[in-house]
């Protein structure tokens, strides 16, 4: 059964919080096919549909490819559309992810991060959403259940922003965040409606007075122009995200940015890391700070578009930085977050020494001692100016 929640502090799992946010948003269409560990999102939301708590048309389909296909059709017809998936489900949507973004459809997808097969694994890493990082979808990442809940509302506004009109995926760690119960503060339904507003699609296939063509064949003479427009929209998504986050903070008192920093301002060394593992790293930082060590953290929230200028500014002046990836690009040169952060810092006059550590694949535990070990490596690099190993796996 779907949860019954009230305004104020309520204990919810990440999945239930996302489903409750979807209930409050009340999308026109939700097409979905359940997959671990995102199944509970669809289960809870289907209960809201069955109970008449929402007016959403829930489309149950035979696969995740069909789910995204149905989302695309509904969005092209002018509907506000949402769905959820994980891992192989996102991979099965692959073809349709590019179509959704190329057709500029502001679909909202909650991706509960899970390792991609093979071998089969149902636990957390970021190989699914990182594999989709170049598909033209805006990407938001959450550390906590509260942030996963709040991101759903901001995602709607960012995707539907008239200067953006791109699909968006919100990402939270499978089992770690999706199944953990945390106390969170819920919004009132009326507050949500006022924040997200009524959806007014730019075009609709059902508007016969203003016909449009979608998904047509484009030859070399015009294809690049379409891609250029899409690319420019992704660039504009950064400012749109800042605008939406600022409005959210003003209304509800919970402040979000392009990324979060923790004790970073005076830090000499820092770790860059996504999602729930940031919390573990913060504990390590607090322990090391008690020992007088100047260490800090940067946790990206908006990964697409990548806020490279702002990130470079936040990390400039550090002696050494470790980027921890919960996915491997299989390029023999580090993980996806590392490659982008290192590139962002390339033009700094006094850029920090940088290393990449790949951790936690397939749900492998990342502990406080692991974070401390990375900081110990960084301290040695800061002292000697030498990097012994640029990229390596930890938590093996």
HEC letters along the chain: CCCCCCCEEEEEEHHHHHHHHHHHHCCCEEEECCCCCCHHHHHHHHHHHHCCCCCCEEEECCCHHHHHHHHHHHHHCCCCEEEEECHHHHHHCHHHHHHHHHCCCCCEEEEEECCCCCCCCCCCCCHHHHHCCCCCCEEEECCCHHHHHHHHHHHHHHHHCCCCCCCEEEEEECCCCCCCEEEEEECCHHHHHHHHCCCCCCCCCCCCCCCCCCCCCCCHHHHHHHHHHHHHHHHHHHHHHHHHHHHHHHHHCCCCCCEEEECCCCCCEEEECCCCHHHHHHHHHHHHHHCCCCEEEEEECEEECCCHHHHHHHHCCCCEEEEEECCCCCCCCCCHHHHHHHHHCCCCCCCCEEEEEECCHHHCCCCHHHHHHHHHHHHHHHHHCCCCCCEEECCC
Residue 300, pLDDT above cutoff 60: yes
CATH 3.40.50.970 domain residues, the chain: 8-252
Considering only CA atoms, which of 210, 217, 187, 179 is closest in space to residue 102?
217
Full 3-state SS string of 126-160: CHHHHHCCCCCCEEEECCCHHHHHHHHHHHHHHHH
* pLDDT tens digit sequence for 279-290: 999 999 999 999
pLDDT of residue 100: 98
Q: What is the arithmetic mean of pLDDT over 110-128?
A: 98
Mean per-residue pLDDT over the chain, rounded: 97
pLDDT of residue 318: 98
* CATH architecture entry for 260-393: 3-Layer(aba) Sandwich (3.40)
Considering only CA atoms, which of 7, 4, 1, 66 is closest in space to residue 31?
66
Residue 4, pLDDT above cutoff 70: no
pLDDT of residue 344: 98
Check whether the bond before 390 is cis (ω within 30° of 0): no
Q: What is the arithmetic mean of pLDDT over 231-245?
A: 98
* pLDDT tens digit sequence for 121-145: 999 999 999 999 999 999 999 999 9
pLDDT of residue 385: 97
Compute the distance between CA of residue 38 and CA of residue 19 in angstroms, rounded to an integer: 10
Superfamily of the domain at 8-252: Thiamin diphosphate (ThDP)-binding fold, Pyr/PP domains (3.40.50.970)
- Give the torsion sign (CA, 223, 157, 62, 204): negative
Full 3-state SS string of 234-267: HHHHHHHHHHHHHHHHHHHCCCCCCEEEECCCCC
Q: What is the arithmetic mean of pLDDT over 43-63?
A: 98
Cα dihedral angle (49, 165, 158, 336), rounded to 10 degrees? 100
* pLDDT tens digit sequence for 370-384: 999 999 999 999 999
pLDDT of residue 323: 99
CATH 3.40.50.920 domain residues, the chain: 260-393
pLDDT of residue 8: 73
Q: What is the arithmetic mean of pLDDT over 305-328?
A: 98
Residue 168, pLDDT above cutoff 60: yes
Considering only CA atoms, which of 356, 340, 337, 341 is closest in space to residue 394?
356
Compute the distance between CA of residue 36 and CA of residue 84 in angstroms, rounded to an integer: 11
Residue 341, pLDDT above cutoff 70: yes
Considering only CA atoms, which of 340, 376, 345, 370 is closest in space to residue 358?
370
Cβ atoms of residues 46 and 1 within 8 Å: no
Residue 173: CA atoms inside 13 Å, Cβ hemisphere, count? 27
Residue 82, pLDDT above cutoff 60: yes
Kindly indicate the confidence band of residue 215, based on its pLDDT and cuts at 50, 70 and 90.
Answer: confident
Compute the distance between CA of residue 158 and CA of residue 167 in angstroms, rounded to an integer: 9
Percent of the chain with pLDDT over 70: 98
């Amino acid at each position: 059964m779907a949860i019954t929640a009230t305004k104020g502090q309520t204990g919810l799992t990440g999945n239930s919080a996302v489903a409750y946010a979807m209930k409050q948003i009340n999308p026109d269409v939700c097409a979905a096919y359940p997959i671990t560990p995102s199944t509970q999102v669809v289960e809870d939301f289907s209960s809201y549909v069955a109970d008449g708590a929402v007016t959403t048309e829930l489309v149950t389909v035979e696969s995740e490819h069909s789910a995204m296909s149905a989302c695309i059709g509904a969005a092209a017809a002018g509907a506000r559309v949402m769905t959820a998936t994980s891992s192989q489900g996102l991979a099965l949507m692959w073809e349709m992810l590019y179509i959704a973004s190329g057709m500029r459809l502001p679909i909202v997808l909650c991706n509960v991060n899970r390792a991609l097969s093979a071998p089969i694994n149902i636990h957390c890493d970021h190989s699914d959403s990182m594999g989709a990082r170049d598909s033209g979808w805006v990407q938001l990442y959450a550390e906590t259940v509260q942030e996963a809940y709040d991101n759903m509302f901001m995602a709607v506004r960012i995707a539907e922003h008239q200067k953006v009109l791109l699909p968006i995926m919100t990402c939270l760690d499978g089992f770690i965040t999706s199944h953990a119960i945390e106390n969170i503060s819920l919004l009132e339904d009326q507050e949500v409606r006022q924040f997200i507003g009524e959806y007014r699609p730019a075009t609709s296939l059902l508007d016969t007075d203003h016909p449009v063509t979608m998904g047509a064949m484009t030859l070399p003479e015009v294809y690049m122009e379409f891609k250029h427009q899409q690319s420019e929209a992704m660039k504009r998504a950064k400012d749109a995200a800042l605008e939406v986050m600022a409005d959210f903070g003003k209304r509800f008192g919970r402040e979000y940015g392009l990324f979060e920093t923790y004790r970073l301002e005076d830090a000499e060394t820092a770790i860059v890391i996504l999602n729930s593992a940031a919390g573990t790293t913060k504990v390590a930082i607090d322990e090391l700070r008690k020992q007088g060590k100047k260490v800090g953290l940067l946790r990206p929230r908006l990964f697409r578009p990548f806020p490279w200028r702002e990130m470079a500014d936040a990390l400039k002046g550090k002696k050494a930085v470790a980027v921890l990836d919960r996915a491997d690009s299989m390029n023999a040169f580090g993980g996806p977050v590392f490659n982008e952060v290192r590139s962002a810092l390339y033009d700094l006059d006094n850029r920090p020494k940088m290393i990449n550590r790949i951790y936690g694949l397939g749900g492998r535990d990342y502990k406080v001692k692991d974070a401390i070990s990375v900081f110990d490596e960084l301290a040695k690099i800061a002292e000697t100016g030498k990097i012994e190993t640029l990229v390596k796996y930890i938590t093996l």
